[in-house]
């Protein structure tokens, strides 16, 4: 895909965020690192990791895997390069837009995402694209933050805050569990990690 065809607005947003991303993400790794590790340990076979960011999540993958890690932001990928080189296995970094992946149908055994689908502009379209590139029976492993439904005032607050946060970062009120199902996946497991906001979502193709 050419750069012009990508979502330039999203690309610019994450290029800007790349400058301070690690500074802000370090403590979240301390809080949620064990959950990331537990989830990403389940990855197997040829794996597509969506939204490489600065490569913070690479250390949570088991050693020896064959991973393609994509991101829409070239600046993020620049920073991810060193962490990819330090991984004990194969990580190929690619600039790509999840809405339109340059891979044939049924390429990957596993797809992984960590706090990604709060920021994908068209989440169902992106998830359908991931469905397309997964092999039949392949799995998608997600750690995502979503809108709270269990605590009414929190849900309302997230709807209002999203009007601010979407200007420079993620949307806080996505219903990613439903979106996964709308894209065609069959849910295998959903786990609340923090309140009912941060969730592990595991689903299968077919």
Q: Which residues bind another protein (CB under 8 A)?
A: 23-24, 26-28, 30-32, 145, 150-151, 153-154, 157-158, 160-161, 164-165, 186-198
Kindly tell me which of 182 and 188 has the beta carbon lying closer to another protein. Answer: 188
The structure tokens listed for 86 are: 């330090």
Q: Report the residue number, 39 or 96, with the smaller CB distance to another protein.
A: 39
When the beta carbons of 97 and 116 are compared against another protein, the nearer one is 116
Least gap, CB of 95 to another protein (angstroms): 26
Least separation, in Å, of the C-beta of 141 and another protein? 15
Q: Which is nearer to another protein, 18 or 84 (CB)?
A: 18
Helix (H), strand (E) counts: the chain: 6, 7
Nearer to another protein, 10 or 165 (CB): 165
DSSP states of 70-86:
EES-HHHHHHHHHHHHH
Instruction: Name the token pair of 42.
Output: 């389940």
In terms of C-beta density within 10 A (0-12 exposed, 13-18 middle, 19 or more buried), how is residue 135 classed? middle
CB of 92 to another protein, least distance (A): 29
The strand pairing partners of 47, in sequence order, are 67, 110
- Inter-axis angle of helices 21-40 and 74-86, nearest 10: 50
Report the nearest approach of another protein to the CB of residue 26 (Å): 7
Q: Which two tokens stand for residue 141?
A: 């492993």
Shortest Å distance, C-beta 135 to another protein = 16
Nearest approach in angstroms of CB 99 to another protein is 25
Q: Which residue has the tokens 């969730």?
A: 199
- Which are the contacts of 128, defined by CB distance < 8 A and separation ≥ 6? 183, 184
Is the Cβ of residue 28 or residue 106 nearer to another protein in the bound state? Answer: 28
């Amino acid at each position: 895909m050419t750069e012009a065809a990508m979502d330039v607005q999203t690309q610019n947003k994450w290029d800007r965020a790349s400058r301070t991303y690690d500074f802000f993400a370090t403590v979240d790794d301390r809080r949620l690192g064990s959950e990331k590790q537990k989830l990403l340990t389940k990855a197997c076979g040829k794996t597509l990791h969506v939204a490489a960011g600065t490569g913070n999540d690479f250390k949570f993958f088991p050693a020896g895997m064959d991973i393609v890690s994509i991101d829409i932001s070239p600046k993020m990928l620049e920073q991810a390069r060193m962490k990819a080189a330090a991984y004990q296995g194969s990580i190929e970094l690619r600039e790509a837009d999840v809405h339109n992946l340059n891979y044939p149908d049924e390429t990957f055994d596993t797809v992984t995402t960590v706090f990604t689908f709060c920021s994908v502009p068209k989440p169902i379209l992106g998830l359908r694209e991931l469905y397309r590139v997964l092999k039949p029976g392949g799995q998608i492993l997600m750690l995502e933050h979503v809108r709270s439904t269990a605590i009414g005032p929190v849900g309302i607050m997230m709807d209002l805050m999203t009007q601010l946060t979407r200007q420079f970062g993620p949307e806080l009120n996505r219903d990613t569990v439903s979106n996964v199902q709308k894209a065609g996946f069959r849910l295998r497991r959903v786990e609340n990690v923090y309140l009912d906001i941060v969730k592990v979502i595991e689903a299968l193709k077919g």
